[in-house]
Amino acid sequence: MHEYRKKLIEVALPLEAINKEAAREKSIRHGHPSTLHLWWARRPLAACRAVLFASLVDDPSSHPEQFPTEEAQEQERQRLFRIIEELVKWENSNNETVLEAVRAEILKSTNGSPPPVLDPFCGGGSIPLEAQRLGLEAHASDLNPVAVLITKALIEIPPKFAGKPPVNPESRKKLDHSKSWHGAQGLAEDVRYYGKWMRDEAEKRIGHLYPKVKLPKEYGGGEATVIAWLWARTVKCPNPACGAQMPLVRSFWLSTKGNKKAWVEPVVDKKNKTVRFEVKTGNGEPPAGTVNRRGATCIVCGTPVPFSHIRSEGMEHLIMEDLMAVVAQGQRQRIYVEPNHAQAEFVKNAHPSWKPDCSLPKRHRNLQTPAYGMPNVGDLFTSRQLVALTTFSDLVCEARGSVF
Ligand SMILES: [Zn+2]
């Protein structure tokens, strides 16, 4: 049996350096896996890298024959700390000199055969990615198929194309045979090429469903690309004297950021029992939302409305929607624009050729939609979303067909 050797992580870590780099990483966009796909609770790469290293490398106290005194041990520990401090820097992510030194330390502490790393709930894939970087055999899984897909794209697919030239026609034409392709460079060229091709092609096919929006005068007028259309679901008020189509909105805030406050101001016409929406900015605040955990309130007459009413309207497919605001892409800022009838009508021009057909579980504490008349996965998307998703899915197949 092996004598148990204490690992560095059980004794000490240069936490300050690790924390600093982990925090810094959050503001790095270019080249960071976080830009591959959104994932919540993504672990900082710096922390994963440091923890893996320190879990494999022996603490110097495990080698009294080499480091007989506490002073000698502490000196060696400090040497390992310096290695970690270099290792956790974002700039050194692909620094082979640093990584080779790190891999050598790991081999030294593991008799030349480090154990494989298994992350059974890998999420965004930070741990297996860093394990791979440190030269370790990495295995990962997750219950969530999105996590599995992200991790595959991050650690399984790139190595298959390591050192290979790109295959897209443009790069092939100007392929310089004397150029050698390192790591995922060739794959990256192809991702850029086909990503742009898909984007341009999608714009040709479905761009008309995403009209630009006219900007208000205070933003210099002109037109801007829409980032999001914000909808409110509406339901008929059960008060017989009212009967308004009441919006169900948790919060009317659009942005609560210090000097960029913006919100939707519902304007109620009591006589005609209608509601329209204006976008406000500056000082002030919107009225409270019309739905909370206890139920809803009609914004026109103030009647409290229980969820049971909303559910039964949903079962009759009587839940409607109304456009509350349009979010546009300004220069380095989001611009919130008041909705207009034309913007709301564009959605009706979307006719998906396909939609998912798969029942949602009927009794599930986290799936509320079946009780509101939306029992199928296909019910969870708008027509425009289905058209977009179907188009992108088709384009993936077409891009593949053009290569093989
Ligand atoms: Zn009402």
Does residue 357 belong to any structural domain of this protein?
Answer: no
Helix residue spans in 40-154 (DSSP H): 45-56, 70-87, 96-109, 126-133, 145-151
Rounded CA-CA distance 392/354 in Å is: 12
CA pair distance 307, 316, nearest whole angstrom: 14
305 Cα–ligand 1 center, Å = 9
Q: Which helix (H) or strand (E) holds 246?
A: strand 245-248
294 alpha carbon – ligand 1 mean position (Å): 17
For strand 117-119 and strand 138-140, is the pairing parallel, antiparallel, or unpaired?
A: parallel
Q: Whole-angstrom Cα distance, residue 399 to residue 403?
A: 7
* DSSP one-letter code for 354: -
Name which of 293, 288, 281 is nearest 247 in CA terms. Answer: 288
217 and 149 within one domain: no
Q: How far apart are CA 88 and CA 16, in angstroms?
A: 11
29 CA → ligand 1 middle, Å: 47
pLDDT of residue 63: 96
Q: Is residue 208 a part of any domain in this protein?
A: no
Instruction: Tell whether 325 and 217 lie within a shared domain.
Output: yes
- My answer on whether 127 and 239 are in the same domain is no
In a domain, 248, yes or no: yes
Q: Structure pTM?
A: 0.76
- Together in a domain, 14 and 151: yes
* Residue range of the domain that includes 218: 213-349
**Does residue 25 sit in the same domain as residue 147?**
yes
pLDDT of residue 404: 58
Q: How far is the CA of 290 from the centre of ligand 1 (A)?
A: 12
What is the number of domains present in the chain?
A: 2
- Mean pLDDT of the residues in the chain: 93
Place of tokens 């790393």: 117
Residue 232 identity: A
Computed over its alpha carbons, how large is the radius of gyration of the chain? Answer: 28
The 10s digit of each residue's pLDDT in 286-341 is 999 999 999 999 999 999 999 999 999 999 999 999 999 999 998 888 999 999 88
- The confidence score (pLDDT) of residue 40 equals 87
Give the whole-angstrom CA distance, residue 128 versus residue 120.
10
Residue 19 lies in a domain: yes
**What pLDDT does 403 receive?**
66
Q: Is residue 378 part of a domain?
A: no
Residue 336: closest CA among 178, 230, 205, 235: 230
User: Is 203 inside any structural domain?
Assistant: no
Q: How far is the CA of 266 from the centre of ligand 1 (A)?
A: 14
306: region left, alpha or beta (phi > 0 left; psi from -120 to 50 alpha): beta
pLDDT in tens, 213-254: 999 888 888 999 999 999 999 999 999 999 999 999 999 999
Per-residue CA distances from 214 to 217, 224, 225 (Å):
9, 7, 9
Distance, in Å, from the CA atom of 91 to the CA atom of 99, rounded to the nearest integer, reads: 12
Q: For residue 256, is it within any domain?
A: yes
Render pLDDT for 42-75 as a digit per residue (tens, 0 to 9): 899 999 999 999 999 999 999 999 999 999 999 9
Helix (H), strand (E), coil (C) string for 235-295: EECCCCCCCCEEEECCCCEEECCHHHCEEEEEEEECCCCEEEEEEEECCCCCCCCCEECCE
In angstroms, what is the span from residue 268 Cα to ligand 1's centroid? 11
Ligand 1 centroid–CA 340 distance in Å is: 24
Burial class (CB in 10 A: 0-12, 13-18, 19+), 139: middle
Q: Are residues 336 and 222 in the same domain?
A: yes
How many percent of the chain have pLDDT more than 70?
99
Q: How far is the CA of 302 from the centre of ligand 1 (A)?
A: 6
Residue 85 Cα to ligand 1 middle (Å): 63
Ligand 1 mean position to 270 CA, how many Å?
A: 10
Which of 119, 137, 160 lies at the terminal end of a domain, its last residue? 160
Same-domain check for residues 223 and 149 = no
For the ranges 31-35, 303-307, 353-357, which has the lowest average pLDDT? 31-35
pLDDT at position 400: 85
> What is the distance between the alpha carbons of residues 48 and 42, in angstroms, rounded to a whole number?
11
**In contact, 339 and 325? CB cutoff 8 Å:** yes
Q: What is the pLDDT of residue 2?
A: 60
Query: Do 155 and 17 belong together in one domain?
Result: yes
How far does residue 271's CA lie from ligand 1's centre (Å)? Answer: 12
The average pLDDT across 8-19 equals 96
Q: How far is the CA of 396 from the centre of ligand 1 (A)?
A: 48
pLDDT tens sequence across 179-204? 788 888 999 999 999 999 999 999 99
- Which residue among 334, 349, 364 closes a domain? 349
| Residue 347 CA to ligand 1 centre (angstroms) | 27
Phi, psi of 297, rounded to the nearest 5 degrees:
-130, 135
| pLDDT value at residue 3 | 74
Q: Which of 26-40, 50-64, 268-282 has the lowest mean pLDDT?
A: 26-40
pLDDT at residue 305, as a whole number: 97
Residue 317: count of CB within 10 angstroms of its CB: 11
300 CA from centroid of ligand 1 (Å): 5
Is the residue at 328 inside a domain? yes
Question: Same structural domain for residues 20 and 134?
Answer: yes
Residue 225 and residue 296 in one domain: yes
Burial of 177 (0-12, 13-18, 19+ CB in 10 A): exposed
